[in-house]
Amino acid sequence: MSQRIKKIFKNKNKKLVTFVTGGDPNKKTSNEILDSIIKHGADLIEIGMPFSDPIADGPTIQISSNRAIKSGANLDTIFNIVKNLRKNNNDTPIILMGYYNIILHYGLDNFVKNCKLAGIDGLIIVDLQPEEDIELLNKLNKNKIDLIRLITPNTTMERLKIIIKNASGFLYYVTITGVTGRQSANMNELKKIIKNIKKYTNLPIVAGFGINNRKQVREICQYTDGVVVGSSIVKIIEKNLTNKKNMIRLINKFVKELKKGTFE
């Protein structure tokens, strides 16, 4: 298990996890956004690996992936962004999120080696099933990099047992069915499912998808160890492409506000 992730969840405060696509809208701005997000309250950060066909993502994140690719972003860009972040910050866990195709294309050994060198703590691979992950899992385990699993409202208890068997770091509960950036979570359903999951694992559970304000953060944190917010931050980037100063100011304000919800 990643020591940074382990350490951050030892403290029982609720966690704010933020997502942005790496390299969006360009490498320099992406670095500034991530650096700023950390300084304004994010406890863990997820960086999306740009991909031309992100099937689990809604339009906002799909478009951000396209912007990053158009600006020339690839996996090497992402590794460089993480290395830059690590120059000033050796504590905040950094997780890469994306699709297995990109990793296979890059080469498993090369990918895991560069994750380790850059200071990456975990991976969320949305289309990699537990039945097909053994090759990657073995390489990650050797390098103390977590493979973080997704659980959805449709996950059966039988399936849950298979998913958590080799999961590490934390579990990511997807609060809604469908793609990112859609409707918000049903609190009664969330409470019941999280309670059930906790019967089978001691791993921390964070919830994401459809979370876009402080009130939702506060409500969800009653039942989970933290929340993930992504599309709402990416939307701020999209709306302020011609005004970087305003973009970063609004992201900072939003992240600070979300973080307050974790304390309430």
The residues assigned a catalytic role are 46, 57
Size of the chain in residues: 264
DSSP characters over the chain: --HHHHHHHHS-S-EEEEEEETTSS-HHHHHHHHHHHHHTT-SEEEEE---S--TTS-HHHHHHHHHHHHTT--HHHHHHHHHHHHHH-SSS-EEEEE-HHHHHHH-HHHHHHHHHHHT--EEEETT--GGG-HHHHHHHHHTT-EEPEEE-TT--HHHHHHHHHT--S-EEEE-SSSSTT-SPP-HHHHHHHHHHHTTT--S-EEEESS--SHHHHHHHHTTSSEEEE-HHHHHHHHHTTT-HHHHHHHHHHHHHHHHHHHH-
The single-letter code of the amino acid at 236 is I
